[in-house]
Amino acid sequence: MIVGQAGFSIQGQKSLGRIFLEYGCGQGSTCGPRGACVYTGLAMSCIFCKIVEGSIPSKAVHQDELSYAFADIDPKAPVHVLVIPREHIAALSEADESRKALLGHLMWVAAEVAREQGLGAGYRVVVNNGKNGGQAVDHLHLHVMGGRQMAWPPG
Ligand code: AMP
Ligand code: ZN
């Protein structure tokens, strides 16, 4: 059993799903000395900040000083990886001009992940934004999905 910093306990994937439902994300965090988020305000409850920090487990796929990529807990394709900034940004629409280079970097990481995962036959990168965009976790993330033929249009 792993006990998270917020005092909740994690026992396998089923519990992670419950945490996903119980913990939304909020606004604001800054990078700590070793790249981990230092939470402020509502970002203290952000599940993806906790994944970056390591207090919620994840299967790492790729990481660097700006980003972290990990396996989606509920994959919608044979390969389904989430690429996130280490910094808490609630959504694509919340990224201001000062984050332009970071946004480009995340897209580059998505392509790197696809190469590393052997998705040469093609793949899809998706960013859900806001309520109507179907965003469930309020920490910017790029879905990298592949390993099967994707349908169009998406639902
Ligand atoms: P979205 O609907 O675009 O906000 O996507 C959120 C994604 O996060 C979904 O595909 C979930 O399966 C995934 N997810 C939620 N909690 C976790 C977790 N603890 N570890 C990995 N992926 C997660
Ligand atoms: Zn966050």
Q: Is residue 142 included in any domain, yes or no?
A: yes
pLDDT tens digits for 37-92? Answer: 455 555 679 999 999 999 999 999 999 999 999 999 999 999 999 999 999 999 99
Q: Which of 16, 48, 61, 73 gets mutated to test ligand 1 (max ligand atoms within 8 A of its CB)?
A: 73
Is 151 contained in some domain? no
Pocket test for ligand 1, best of 14, 45, 79, 82 (most atoms within 8 A of CB): 82
Residue 121's domain spans which residues?
2-146
| Tally of domains in the chain | 1
List alpha helices for the chain, DSSP H: 12-22, 47-53, 100-116
CATH number of the domain encompassing residue 103: 3.30.428.10
* Ligand number with the minimum distance to the CA of 29: 2
Per residue in 104-115, pLDDT (tens digit) is 999 999 999 999
Q: What is the largest CA-CA distance in the chain?
A: 44
Q: How many whole angstroms from 82 Cα to the centroid of ligand 1?
A: 8
3-state SS, residue 70:
strand
155 occurs within a structural domain: no
